[in-house]
Structures are given as structure tokens and as C-alpha cells.
Amino acid sequence: MYEAPVDDYKFVLDEVIGLDKLMSATGHDEISIDLVEAVLSEAGKLAADVIAPLNHPGDQTGATRHDDASVTTPAGFADAFAAMAEGGWTSMEAREEFGGQQLPMVLTTAVNEFWQAANMAFALCHLLTQGQIYALQKSASAEHQNLFIPPMVEGRWTGTMNLTEPQSGTDLASIKTKAVKNGDHYLITGQKIYITYGEHDMAENIVHLVLARTEDAPPGIKGISVFIVPKFLPNDDGSLGVANDLRCLSIEKKLGIKASPTAVMQYGENGGAIGYLVGAENQGLDIMFGMMNHARLAVGLQGLSISDRAYQQARAYAFDRVQGTPLEQKPGAPIVHHPDVLRTLATMKAEIEAMRALMMLGAASMDLAHDCDSDDPRATRANLLIPIIKGWMTERALDVTSQAVQVHGGMGFIEETGAAQHFRDARILPIYEGTTAIQANDLVFRKTLRDNGAAVTTLFDEIEAEMQILADHADDNAAANARQMISAVGTAREATAHILAAANDRRRPAVNGVNYLMMLGRLCGGWMMARAGGTAASRLSDTSADPAFMQAKMTTSRVFMTHHLPQVQALAAIIMTGDNAVLGMDAEWL
């Protein structure tokens, strides 16, 4: 069973993020917490009743490629996607002019957590389609926007991203796919791999965004262009025309997300697939990077989502499973009363709540930064948070889903329970859409060293100022949280100073990058949990609040401060003392 965390989102948005103030600042005054609750409740029903039951069976059967190169998704997937479209859920993010609802990211991100937690392999199709809609809205011509975006908004067509080739992964400079101009279009030839939902039976057409090189393109990343390459060429009236010259060669056999067809796509076996240029020639990388923050936030969200799904299953099992007699309990008490199981579930819950609050802070930052210039402080804050969210949440999902298996004991290792699936599904998250090391390099070199630490120092100042107020005016527990956070900020400043001091030896900040990212993830998670604990404490005397709910929030906040926040100190120590040790290792000694 999956239960969408509607009450938790209502608390985070209303009490921690400040929904009314955010909506006023972003021009969405019509969106109230009551409307948000209604939307989330309906989305939660679809996620729990329709999408979640397909998760485990889909993992067992997987997607199937047939001899005619068609691909069939697991039973129920096509109907579930149709239900999403019929309910208007595929239109939430897009602009109104294309039939979308143009809702703020804090709301669409919350809804997307439900899809991803219910069935991550299924929800990937929607995630990729929304990413393409965003890219086309930003960079495509008006003609192509009006032709390709509305059917994707309606859920009749879906979208993909085609970047990777057999010889070209992270290093896109080595892309070989070719694009030859032919009148008002281009002929595309080449092979792409790891194409999520590159072929499937859930929509009538699939619109591929393909990176390729034109004939006279300069070498390296400066010579990459991006093209719309649809499975079926649309007629002028939007109806489907002839099949394009592209084919799914195979689908990958994977560790996780098995129900999602990950395709090897071949373009131009019979003269060239027809593609339409997006933007100008040689602007492909800039266009793709223009949607990177949205894509990386979405993958960070997947880390939160799969963590919560695994936690929910582990919690249910712990309340049902009887094994031994827990200390100071009567025989027959379930294993949740064993102190170590209680610790495991409590620390999982605390980290998930920190992830969710930080995710909403990131989405709110994206809403505030919408249409801002790149040097605007709101854009700077959003850009700083994105690698932290993507890197920290996806890495921590590996541990949370592993702990969920541990709670199940031996049954967690048996595929029948489904606990192992969450562990396997989570493993891709620190890899795709930029590995953790890439997020760390972005954070260290672009977001910290480039401005000599200005953006991260502003973040530290803001956290410290807020925590000082909390320390002076809150109840004892909330004040204790705030004092711990002030100490952690001081530690993070020292670690940041160490990285800045090593700027002239780029290998030293690079070797510290992942630890630096994880340190800031813990710090920002603690910031949100201190805020949540303080807010919950202030609401205890409010007769409209549920005292048990608020007490739980206060306790979860303390769990984070005592079990997770101390990692800031540990990681800072590694950053400040461990770089020379690693760099002293000769690769030949490994």
C-alpha cells in the first residue's frame, strides 16, 4: 500500500515554506492552502489506487520489445497513463497558451512526488515529457511549439531526450549523430542509447529531442544542435502522418526501473530521419542546459519519492511482523517496539521529512527565480540549491532504501515482498541526469569558487540569522535545535574556507567535492527541520492544530538534529584533513 503524504505537504507548504507569501510573490494569489490540499488529495487517490498497484507487477514483467520493433509496457500502464491525461494531470506544468494550467513548481513538484513514489518506472514517461515541454516552450519556434506541445500537454503524445551515444556519455563533445539540411528540415542519422521511453505503447506518438551535429559544425561541444524528431510526422492540422525513419533496436536489461523501456534508438537507416531544428544551429548544448535545473530537481525528487515509498513499506512491515519479545513489551508485540527498529524507522522518517522540506524550498526558489536574469539573487539561490538537492537526496535514497530492506530482515532480500525493488530502483538516481560527482563539481567550481564563496556565504548568513532568532525566542527543544544549527553553520564556513584556499590546486577542491555537497545537504536539511520543529512547537497551543501531529514533528526534528546533523562536523573534518591523503595515492597502487 502507498499513502500520499498530503498532511505532511500541507504542513510543509503552509507552516515551513509560507505558501501565501510565496504565491503572492509569484503572481499566484488564487492558490490557497485549501486548494493545494484538494489537488493533492485527488492526486493521492490516483497514485494510491491506480498507479501504485502496478509497481511490483511491472517490475516482475518488465517492458517487452517485439520483432517489429514495437514495445509493450506492463499490463495496466497504458490505462494508467490515459487516466492521468483524462484527469488533467499531464497539463499542470505547461503554459496556458498550449492548454496547460501553468501551476507553480511547489504544487507540481508535490504532485510529482506522488507519481514517482507510487511507481517510479511508470512516472518516468511523464517526467521526460514535461522536460521536453519546458525545453520547447523556452527555445522552439512558435510553429513548432503549437504543433508539438499541445498533444503532449493532453497526454496523447510523449517526449524523450536523446543525448547519450555508445562512445559519448558525460562527454557530449564526442557526439557523432549527423544532421544534414534538406529544405525546411534536416535528415538525422546515428544511434542513441539509454533513451527512456524511446518506444512504448502508452501514447500515439513519441517526440524525440535529439542532439546531433550539422555538416559544417565546429568540433566539440560548440558544434552540437538539437532537433525535434517525431516517431510519426505530423500533418499541418496536427494529425498523424507517415512513420519517420527511426527504430528501436533493443531495450536494456537493467538492475532497476525494469518496467521503464530504456531503448537503443537508431535514426536514419533508410536515408535519414526527418528532424526540425530547435533554436539555431550549434546552440543545442545551451538549450539542453537551459532545462537542466528542472531535470535535476526532478531526479532529486525521485530520491525523496523512492525513499518515502520504501519507508512506508518498512513501517507497515514493522507494525505487522512479530519476532522475539521487544524490551519492556509483552509477548506478541511487533518488531517496531525493538529499540533498534524504532531507531531505524525514526531516522528514516526524519531524513525523508528533511528532504521533502528542502525539496519544497528548492521548488519555491525556482518559482521565485522564474524569468529572472541569471545574476539576480533569486536565480543565484536556485542555482546553488539544485546540485545539493539532486546530489544529496539521490545518494541518501540508497541508504534509506537499504535500511528498508534491513527492517524486513531476510524477507527484504526476497523479491516477493517488493522491498528489494525500491533498493534496486534507487540505484540509478545518483547516476543519471549528471552523476553525484558532476553535481559536486558544479557546486564546487561553478557555485562556490567562481564567486569566491559569495552565494554560499549568503546562504550561511541567512540560516544563521534565522537560527539566532529561533534560539532566542523558541521553546527549549526548538532553541536547542537552533543552537546546534548555528554551530553547524560555523563548521560549514570553516570547510568552505578550506576549499576556497585550495582554489589554485584544482585537484584538491575536486577531491573534496562530494563530501562538500553531502555536508551542505545535511546542513540545509537541518535548516528545514529546525524551522519545522520551531513552527510545530509554536502551534501546540493552537486549538485548531492536532497536538499529536505537532508533537511528532517536534520529535522528528530532534531526531534529525541528533542523528543526521552531526554528519556536518564529520564531513567537514574529512574535507579539511583528507584531501592530501587521497591525492597522495598513486593510481598504480590501487
Cα(410)–Cα(399) distance, integer angstroms: 17
Residue 174: how many other CB atoms lie within 10 Å: 12
Largest CA distance in the chain: 80
- Give backbone dihedrals phi and psi of 246, rounded to 5 degrees, phi first: -150, 155
Interacting residues of 459 by C-beta distance below 8 A, sequence separation 6+: 381, 384, 524
What are the E-state strand segments in 1-119? 64-65, 71-72
Residue 353: how many other CB atoms lie within 10 Å: 27
The HSE-up count of residue 62 (CA atoms within 13 Å, CB side) is 15
Interacting residues of 282 by C-beta distance below 8 A, sequence separation 6+: 214, 217, 218, 222, 223, 224, 225
Read off the amino acid at residue 172.
L
- The C-alpha cell at 411 is 524477507
Of the candidates 498, 518, 493, which has an alpha carbon nearest to the alpha carbon of residue 578?
498
Tell me which of 30, 143, 433, 588 is the catalytic residue. Answer: 433
Angle between helices 105-118 and 292-320 (to 10 degrees): 50
Structural contact between residues 43 and 116, judged by C-beta atoms closer than 8 angstroms: no
Residue bearing cell 537493467: 254
Cα(213)–Cα(188) distance, integer angstroms: 9
Interacting residues of 138 by C-beta distance below 8 A, sequence separation 6+: 287, 290, 291
SS3 264: strand
433 has catalytic annotation: yes
Structural contact between residues 134 and 159, judged by C-beta atoms closer than 8 angstroms: no
Angle at 300 between CA 316 and CA 501, to 5 degrees: 125
Residue 14: how many other CB atoms lie within 10 Å: 17
- φ/ψ region of 279 (left if φ > 0, alpha if ψ in -120 to 50, else beta) reads left
3-state secondary structure 107-126: HHHHHHHHHHHHCHHHHHHH
3-state secondary structure 198-261: CCCCCCCEEEEEEEEEECCCCCHHHHCEEEEEECEEECCCCCEEEECCEEEEEECCCCCCCCCC
Residues marked active site are found at 433
